[in-house]
Structure 1
Amino acid sequence: MSYAVIFQIERIYYPLLAAVGITVNLVTIVILSRGKCGLSKCIARYLLGMAAADLSLVIIDVILKRMNSIYFPMNFLYITPICSLILVLYIAARDCSVWFTVAFTFDRFVTICCHRFTAKYCTERTAAVVLSAVWAVACLRSLPFYFSYQPSFITDGVAWFCVTTDDYYTSTFWKAYEYIDSIITPLFPIFLILSFNALTIRHIIAANRVRKRIRNTENQRDPEMENRRKSMVLLFALSGNFILFWMTYVVHSLIWELQNYEYTDRHYSNPVYIAQQMGFMLQLLSCSTNTCIYGLSLTKFREELKTGLKYLVTLNGKLYDVLKKYPKEFCKPGSPIQGFKMSVRIQKDVRPVFFKPCPVPYALKEKVEQELKGLETEYIISEIDQFNWATPIVVVPKTDGKRFCDLFKPGTRDPRSQAARNPRSQGPREPGTQGAREPGSQGPREPGSHRAREPGSQGARN
């Protein structure tokens, strides 16, 4: 027997919602944190709080709760204390998401309609205090729900799953608390949002009429009115988004009780249950739509978003174009640079200096030869028969078992050498010195620019 259609839809819907919700809220937090959207610090603080609350709600409710119930029906998250804690965190995150929207609506109402209190209330500090207070109250209000659950069964001393206690539906306390909870979220917030928006619209319309009469600018551009119009669009879009997506959940909660809340029956297809699940899906969708509202209503937010996307695309595009245009220059490690010859410029009266090789301990000769062969394989040095310049190497045993360096004694350096025009090395080159020493960066050199390296074996290596 196949699962119910609503359950099949949820199996696809919630993973997509989690991916989109986390992405857009993180993007919103990053863009608003940069402070380049042309918003006041007070507004930016409220919008950041709303984005953080929506992000936490997506993580807690969508991922830890619903996706866990759908895809992982048995894991440690179903241990009764953890399960109860997740439900408490969900209620707190939901309340924060709702009441942060109310706080932002009230802040806009004070800014537009109550000019006497604007300077004192509409500040970044006040916004931080209000958001912190709402968060603290939401956490305290959700704590009693932790004690409304009991384990479904106990195995090996471990309590599993969360079911409501026996007195939850009969106790006067829980009935009153459930009634207050339904009023606090979301009936009362919806009433407040509608009231503040109505008063704000009334004040803006009246103020615009007076302003037009005073300025006598029926057909002229008024920056102040345009700013008010943008504020109205942002405010009403956020408020309307909240009310629209929560309405199905509100109607269901007022008429019917919750059914099959933990997906105990995956074949359940009662019409009331379908309406309940659609309400949950729309309610959680509101957590992912604010970024779209910002992008449509805020020009600078949209520009910041385009700049970020353009940077990512352009960065990858530039790297691809460079690699495609110069494939030989970006060769694999262990191969030389092609089409380039390096030379060392010295004065004509400089005499070559050739030093005898330093003795290599017999026990290290084999390791030194292996290291030199490895450098030859990577085209860092090359073997030559003879040359007028030579600087000995000194073997310095390291923890990795092999390491040697050049010995630049007095006489191997000549101040009359001319600096090579190499942007990677601005200092003067020593007579007979090599170029870059990284694997794969050694290119062919012009005749007369080699240097012999003799560790005591036949044939010098350069």
Structure 2
Amino acid sequence: MIHLQRVYYSTLAAIGIPSNIMSFVIFWRRKCMLSKSSTVYLMSISVADTAVLVFIVVLELSVKYLTEEPFWSREPWCSLRDIFNYGAYNISTWLVVAFTAERFLSITTYNLRKQVSIPHGRKVTPLLRSRKRKSVVLLVTVSMTFVLLSITRSITQIILRTKGWPLDRDDYSLSINIAADIGTMISLSNAAINMYLYACTQTKFRQEVITCVKYSLWRCCLVKNDCMVKNR
């Protein structure tokens, strides 16, 4: 388990941090056919998820499994670590909750407007229907993925906190310790996969990702060619 977590958390940070930054830039600079409120929420989630990866995955868990005595094991760093860790994780969680509530209310409001027959033009109605469909897909994907990936950790944490006997968390001969660590690994993957969820469910976002990747590769080729010319 220790070796698995050492590799897993390093890989998670290497994949998640760049993808969150790319998501933020795409939502900030591009038009993905989403409402302004959705765009703001998704940008905020990208920032919060990046903070989770930096403070929890990199500065705590990766360092924990790669060094014998992490710097944050002593005061005042351990207190600051807890503040940043819980702050980042709770902000990320509540942003998903707020986004879910906001999208649900927005969709419900749209349905009410439709029932009372508020006139939409022929060109406007298809656009609103398209945005509603995209909102529903995005809402279900982000919310359900968050719940499914968090449920294992929630159950194991309840068991650990309600037990009536002392427990050595480093003893992996106990199945509850293995389940708890796997639950944490799965839960933290929430902070790294959102870009891929957006790309799978949103056509415009997927197109922007492809454009960004192509541009980045083109820039890398230019830099490489310049270096080769200078070294001749």
TM-score range, shorter chain: 0.7 to 0.9
**Which aligned pairs between 1:196-215 and structure 2 lie closer than 5 A?**
none
Checking the alignment, whether the CA contact within 8 Å between 2:17 and 2:53 is kept in structure 1 is yes
Q: Given the alignment, which residue of 104, 108, 115 partners 1:109?
A: 104
The answer on 1:41 being equivalent to 2:41 is no
Aligned residue for 1:290?
194
- Give runs of aligned pairs for residues 142-181 of structure 1, distance below 5 A: none
Closer/same/farther in 2, CA of residues 103 and 270 from structure 1, 3 Å limit: same
1:62 corresponds to: 57
**Which residue matches 1:314?**
218
1:75–1:108: structure 2 CA closer, same or farther, 3 Å change rule?
A: closer
- 1:88 to 1:222, Cα distance in 2 relative to 1, 3 A: same
How many residue pairs are counted as aligned between the two chains? 220
Which of 148, 153, 164 is the aligned partner of 1:244?
A: 148
* 2:54 counterpart letter in structure 1: I
Aligned residue in 2 for 1:93: 88
Q: Distance in 2 between matches of 1:226 and 1:75?
A: 50
Structure 2 contact 55–84 (Cα < 8 Å) conserved? yes
> Which string of whole-angstrom CA distances, capped at 9 and with x for unpartnered residues, describes residues 156-178 of structure 1?
xxxxxxxxxxxxxxxxxxxxxxx
CA distance in 2, matches of 1:223, 1:29: 24
CA contact (8 A) 2:34 2:131 kept: no
Partner Cα distance (2:41, 2:191) in 1: 15
How big is the shift at 1:224?
4.0
For 2:58 and 2:155, the matched residues in 1 are separated by 25
% identity of equivalent residues:
31
Encode CA deviations 1:278-299: one digit per residue, 9 max, x unaligned: 1100110011111011111122
Q: How does 1:393-404 map to 2 (within 5 A)?
A: none
SS at match of 2:172: coil
For the pair 1:25 / 2:20, whether they are aligned, the reply is yes
Post-superposition Cα deviations, 1:142-196, rounded to whole Å, max 9, x if no partner, equal xxxxxxxxxxxxxxxxxxxxxxxxxxxxxxxxxxxxxxxxxxxxxxxxxxxxxxx
| Deviation digits for residues 75-134 of structure 1 (CA, Å, limit 9, x no counterpart) | 43221221121012111111101100111111112212135xxxxxxxxxxxxxxxxxxx
Compute the TM-score of the two structures, normalised by the length of structure 2: 0.83
1:80 corresponding residue in structure 2: 75
SS in structure 1 at match of 2:191:
coil
Task: Using CA pairs under 8 Å that are at least 6 residues apart, name the structure with larger relative contact order, 1 or 2.
Answer: 2
Change (3 A) 1:78 1:240: same
For 1:282, the aligned partner's letter is I
Structure 1 gaps, min length 5: 1-5, 116-202, 212-220, 334-462
Report which of the two has the higher share of helix: 2
For residue 317 of structure 1, report the CA deviation from its aligned partner: 4.7
- 2:138 maps to which residue? 234
Of 237, 256, 263, the match for 2:160: 256
Give the 3 Å change call, closer, same or farther, for CA 308–35 of structure 1 in structure 2.
Answer: closer
- Asked if structure 1 preserves the Cα contact closer than 8 Å seen for 2:64 and 2:70, the reply is no
Matches of residues 299-310 of structure 1 in structure 2 within 5 Å? 299-310=203-214
Q: What amino acid sits opposite 1:292 in the alignment? A: Y
Cα distance in 2 for residues equivalent to 1:317 and 1:13: 30
| Aligned CA-pair RMSD | 2.9
Per residue, is there more strand in 1 or in 2? 1
Shift, 1:225, TM fit: 3.3
CA distance in 2, matches of 1:22, 1:316: 19
Shift of 1:223: 4.8
1:244 deviates by: 0.5
In structure 2, how many angstroms separate the alpha carbons of the residues matched to 1:88 and 1:293?
29
Q: Given the superposition, is the C-alpha separation of residues 317 and 222 from structure 1 closer, same or farther in structure 2, using an over 3 Å criterion?
A: same
2:183 aligned with 1:279, yes or no?
Answer: yes
- Going from structure 1 to structure 2, the CA distance change for 1:331 and 1:297 (only over 3 Å counts) comes to closer
Distance 2:87 2:147 in 1: 19
